[in-house]
Chains A and B, each alone.
Chain A
């Protein structure tokens, strides 16, 4: 696999003893010698450092950037002030989802977007196909991205960049960390308080070294990133949503800005709006739900969900062992009448039904810092 891309932290991962695997075209660390369970629990108790440089970072700029983005995404950018960010999804014209992403307003003509590694090409194609001629999309290929996540993240980062403590969840700021110019947001994909730091590739290793100098901070691989986000009830594109699933089925209606919903001041007007509204009006056949599994056997992606008569009523899209709960958990799509919290269903694991209960997500309390 000589054609795999490497992030600027690649040598550091190898030095740290990481098990490297191909992921979205990159050679990425799935775990370090401590293992996924220990890395997961370390993040929940201390601070974990994640290399997420494989993700796409771009600036969308221009006088028409705001109106262009509002025609592509179900956002209200009049309410997104500079230094604030929002989770959103990019609907396609067929009623599915191109990708999910975070949009941060740098100023009224400059928006910073972060999107999934595996979707980079199609996202760029989708954006460029819809942006006005005067709006530019600049891929920030020369920047790395790291996430520092966990209850000690703020204590650690504050030592190097005191300003970071003034950020609240889903806000960001340009700041210098130990002399390195970065863009820092208070956000993440673990359910914990923490930061995502965009850093020039040339200074990425120096930044990681400064952060790792704290005994609270350890590298965390993609394995624990997945178990952490699943416990936090967060979707993974390509698994829990895709080009075909409606945002209504994915239970992402909350991510549509109030003004863009039916009856809002700026109702609709984004790609796929009519299809989304129709699903919301007519109801969906299947909906995304969380599951707590009886016993210890993990229920994994692809497992069929059945009712008490053995009829197939859905499918698991993410599943695994939750280290913080010391139990298996899953996320998946079930026929709407079963998607009520407390409903007993089963998943077929090696042909045997494993009882499970529809559960509220997140599975663990979110600990975002809201000021």
Chain B
């Protein structure tokens, strides 16, 4: 059974977002996503300083099996990327919600997250899979 964390927001395309204490938003892929993808071998994150848009492609995650687009949950400026993913992409499998985060955004409007799913809504989607 995949872990779904109650404090996070989700997209049906299996990304999560966490609002940090400083108002920035961290984004990654869910435990369910990493499990379906299998061994992650490559992650393409957006560049620091670039702009991402809520609901649009922001990067790519590749497993041994296939490539999948990553969507952002919020619009804003990318202020950090997880550089550890370049050499050790497998941390996405090992720690999807903590060490395996993808990028951090300074959101232009936090209310973008009002359109995202809460844990129960996302759990329902996983149950259908």
A and B: bona fide binding partners: yes
A-B contact pairs, 22 of them (CB 8 A): A30-B65, A36-B38, A36-B39, A37-B38, A37-B39, A37-B41, A38-B39, A223-B64, A227-B64, A296-B41, A296-B89, A297-B42, A297-B62, A298-B41, A298-B42, A298-B67, A321-B42, A321-B62, A321-B64, A328-B41, A328-B42, A350-B60
From known contacts A36-B38, A298-B42, infer whether A223 and B65 are also in contact, taking CB-CB under 8 Å. yes
A169 CB, min distance to chain B CBs, angstroms: 28
Q: How large is the interface on A (under 10, 10 to 19, 20 to 34, 35 or more residues)?
A: 10 to 19
Residues of A303-324 at the interface with B, using a CB-CB cut-off of 8 Å, are 320-321, 323
Q: Which residues of A contact B (CB under 8 A)?
A: 30-31, 35-38, 223, 227, 296-298, 300, 320-321, 323, 328, 350
**A36 neighbours in B (Cβ, 8 Å):** 38-39, 64-65
Interface contacts beyond A298-B62, A350-B60: sample of 10 additional A-B pairs, CB < 8 Å, sorted by A: A36-B38, A36-B39, A36-B65, A223-B64, A296-B86, A298-B67, A320-B64, A321-B42, A321-B64, A328-B41
Q: Give Cα A297 to B39, complex, Å.
A: 14
Do A323 and B64 touch (CB < 8 A)? yes
Instruction: Looking at the assembled complex, report how far the CB atom of A296 sits from the nearest CB atom of chain B, in whole angstroms.
Output: 5
* Bound CA span A36–B66, Å: 12
Residues of A within 8 A of B89 (CB): 296
Least distance between B24 CB and chain A CB atoms (Å): 27
With A227-B64, A297-B62, A298-B67 as known contacts, state yes or no: A31 contacts B42, CB within 8 Å: no
Cβ of B64 and Cβ of A37 under 8 Å apart? yes
Say what secondary structure dominates the interface of chain A: mixed
Minimum Cβ distance to chain B for residue A171 (Å): 33
Inside 8 A of B118's CB, which chain A residues have their CB? none
Query: In this complex, what residue of A is CB-closest to B43?
Result: A296
User: Least Cβ distance of B88 to chain A in Å?
Assistant: 11
Residues of A within 8 Å of B44, CB to CB, are 297, 350
Residues of A within 8 A of B67 (CB): 298, 300
| A311–B41 CA distance with the chains assembled, in angstroms | 29
Q: Is the CB of B39 within 8 A of A35?
A: yes
Assembly CA distance A328 to B64 (angstroms): 9
Cross-chain contact A296 with B42 (CB below 8 angstroms): yes
Closest 6 CB pairs of A and B: A37-B39, A321-B41, A36-B64, A296-B42, A297-B42, A321-B64
Give the distance in Å from the alpha carbon of A197 to the alpha carbon of B5 in the complex.
47
Residue of A nearest to B36 (CB): A19
Provide the bound-state CA to CA distance between A45 and B62, in Å.
25
A30 to B36, CA, bound (A): 12
Instruction: Please report the C-alpha to C-alpha distance between residue A173 and residue B65 in the assembled complex, in whole angstroms.
Output: 36
Which chain B positions have C-beta within 8 A of A320? Answer: 64
Residues in B whose Cβ lies below 8 Å from that of A328: 41-42
Q: Which residues of A contact B39 (CB under 8 A)?
A: 35-38, 321
- What string of 1s and 0s marks CB contacts (under 8 Å) between B50-83 and chain A? 0000000000101011010000000000000000
Q: Is B38 touching A35 in the complex (CB atoms < 8 A)?
A: yes
A223: chain B residues at CB < 8 Å are 38, 64-65
Residues of B within 8 A of A227 (CB): 64
Cβ distance B89 to chain A, nearest Cβ, rounded Å = 7
In the assembled complex, the CB of A229 is this many whole angstroms from the nearest CB of chain B, namely 14
Chain B positions 1-54 with a Cβ under 8 Å from a chain A Cβ: 38-39, 41-42, 44
